[in-house]
Structure 1
Amino acid sequence: MDNQKETTNEVSEATVTTSVNSGQEEVLEATIDTSTTPNQPSLDPETIRAYEEKIRAEQNLPMAIVAGLVAALVSSAVWALVTIKAESQIGWMAVGVGFLVGYAVRYMGKGIDNTFGVIGAVFALLGCVLGNIFSVYGFVTVEFDVTFMESLSAIPLGEVINVLIDDLSPYDFLFYGIALYEGFKFSFRQITQEEVIQNSQG
């Protein structure tokens, strides 16, 4: 964590260790702003831990996977349309793909475990790759005045992938990396101080 200037606010970090189905232990680090006002109670690690256990029970892995897949398909289609319209690949589209997929996984999955971040990262990368693949087929559709389905049936997927691999540049890896990072980062449910306090008082 970056060094921060001292302020009147305090930040409390609680590390919670839980058992997963595989029998291994997964460590979850949750950082919550515990700055208080005169009328606001302070937070203790036990209160934070109790709330984390409650929201862990609300996690929905199947919905996170469905949301990630749908977001990847939608974002890849947008990627292809923009690329065809601009007649050039816009690498920064990967940033939008990562954000959209991560947000979808977080909204539907309500997850705080690392599994949800991995799901977001995988589908974000999938969205970028599909965006490039759909772009190639889209260019063929426009160039030869055929339907998209006709271009899909006329050109083997393997050939398209080989073309994309041959055209890879360092910038592609950079943008794919950004998409992976955002897909992972934005896939987690955010825990706010207000939520913890309300839960402790409920």
Structure 2
Amino acid sequence: MSQSAPPPQPPQSGPVDGNPYAQQAPAGAPGAPGTPYPPQPGAFAAPPAAPAPARNNLALGLVAAVVTAVAAAALYGVIIGATKHEIGWAAVGVGFVIGLAAGKAGGRNPALAVVSAVLALGSVYIGQLVGEAMIGADQLGVGFGELFFQHFDVVQKVWKEEADPLTFVFFAIAAFAAFSGAKKAAA
């Protein structure tokens, strides 16, 4: 008794195994009807993606944070000088961009969040001094550079006299924004 193999079946044009949503493989594709060999497990699977390397470059994060802090302080000072008063949301922005730059460039190093918060405090302080110097330069009719660099003690004294509790709230919010910005950017 010999058994004979059933004749090859033509490709189906309707649903596969009664499933109207199943798609048919094109003729000649591995596993399609009429192909000589079944597909090998994993033969056509995409290679597994390598996990992204964890960024942990403390030096690069510090450089990015310092450069951003200097630029943000200057911009914040110009905003204060142009509007003639402090803007709390700008202080939050100063802190957040410092943290964002540190986290994006340096990665997940926990020291970057702390350094970002400290730099945000310094950046907001310098920005407020720049703003005070711009306002004072306009009122006194002298140049900004002369007042800021040659009479820095006077600028600090004026800042201390005009500082109120809200000024220090801006400091705290900027530090918090820098800390959280660094953590979020590194994630």
TM-score by length of 2: 0.65
Alignment of 1:113-124 (within 5 A): 113-124=109-120
Instruction: State the 1:92 CA deviation.
Output: 2.3
Instruction: State the 1:116 CA deviation.
Output: 0.9
Q: Percent identity?
A: 26
Which SS does the other structure have where 2:182 is aligned?
coil
Structure with greater Cα Rg: 2
More strand by proportion, 1 or 2? 1
Deviations 1:33-78 (A, max 9, x none): xxxxxxxxxxxxxxxxxx79x51xx311122121111111111111
Which SS does the other structure have where 1:186 is aligned?
helix
Partner residue, 2:154: 159
Deviations 1:111-131 (A, max 9, x none): x23201111101111110011
Which SS does the other structure have where 1:187 is aligned?
helix
Partner residue, 1:18: none
Partner residue, 2:64: 67
Specify whether residues 176 and 136 from structure 1 end up closer, same or farther in structure 2 by C-alpha distance, changes over 3 A only: same
Partner residue, 2:10: none
Partner residue, 1:173: 168
Verify the 8 A CA contact 2:64 2:105 in the aligned structure 1: yes
- Name stretches of at least 5 consecutive residues in structure 2 with no aligned partner: 1-50
Amino acid corresponding to residue 170 of structure 1 in structure 2: P
Greater Cα shift, 84-93 or 100-109 = 84-93
Partner residue, 1:149: 145
RMSD across aligned positions (CA): 2.0
CA distance in 2, matches of 1:173, 1:153: 24
CA distance in 2, matches of 1:86, 1:152: 18
CA distance in 1, matches of 2:115, 2:144: 29
Verify the 8 A CA contact 2:99 2:177 in the aligned structure 1: yes
TM-score by length of 1: 0.61
2:82 matches 1:90: no
- Count, aligned residues: 136
Alignment of 1:33-44 (within 5 A): none
Alignment of 1:1-202 (within 5 A): 55=54, 58-110=55-107, 112-155=108-151, 157-188=152-183, 189-191=185-187
Partner residue, 2:12: none
Instruction: State the 1:154 CA deviation.
Output: 3.5
